[in-house]
Amino acid sequence: MINIVLFGKPGAGKGTQAEFLRTKYNLTHISTGDIFRFNIKNETPLGKEAKSFIDKGELVPDALTIKMLQDEVEKHPGTAGFLFDGFPRTVAQADELDAFIISKGWQITATIGLEADDDVLVARLLERGKTSGRADDQDEALIRNRYQEYNEKTAPLIEYYKKQGKYYSVDGIGSIADITERLSLVIDKLN
């Protein structure tokens, strides 16, 4: 079983690349954003609880996020592996994910960070904002604020996974095919 954490700043191409990697390696793609949207739309008990925080402009607590993620993992008992996209975002979440994965008799195989210059990513998000309808992709100040949040809370995951010998950095600039090729080179070495 191969379990990969894919992360990078907003606009780094995680969602785009996750789709290629999911298909190529027969992985189950777990996107916390998708899980949140599904649970909220379907008014599950967890979705209602998450929505109560979101409606107040608050972050969904780690314990609730982990519970949703665990429920999603449990839906795929025969998978060849998981591709975690957008989770973990903090060291505390990484600890929780490790504990959960280990309890299943698995491990995180690798964490791959898509690296790109902020100015390039801002341009990507502003372009995406023209069609996505997402307000947070249409305002450069909001985008840069998201990067500050990433630097403070998510960037420490690099050290966390480096200490485990599981961190790989991949250049996230170039064509989609070039980036997919770089990611595949890393993953192929893991098998």
CB 3 within 8 A of CB 112: no
Which residue has tokens 């890393």?
Answer: 186
Q: Tell whether 182 is in a known binding site.
A: no
AA identity, residue 33: G
Q: Tell whether 124 is in a known binding site.
A: no
Rounded alpha-carbon distances, angstroms, from residue 171 to 46, 61, 93, 102: 36, 31, 25, 30
- Which residues pair with residue 81 across a beta bridge? 2
Q: Tell whether 134 is in a known binding site.
A: yes
Residues annotated as part of the active site: 14, 89, 128, 134, 146
Q: Tell whether 14 is in a known binding site.
A: yes
Q: Tell whether 11 is in a known binding site.
A: yes
Q: How many CA atoms lie within 13 A of 78 on its CB side?
A: 0
Q: Tell whether 109 is in a known binding site.
A: no
Q: Tell whether 146 is in a known binding site.
A: yes
- Which residues pair with residue 30 across a beta bridge? 84
Binding-site annotation, residues: 11-16, 32, 37, 58-60, 86-89, 93, 128, 134, 146, 174
Binding residues for AMP: 32, 37, 58-60, 86-89, 93, 134, 146
Q: Which residues are annotated as a binding site for ATP?
A: 11-16, 128, 174
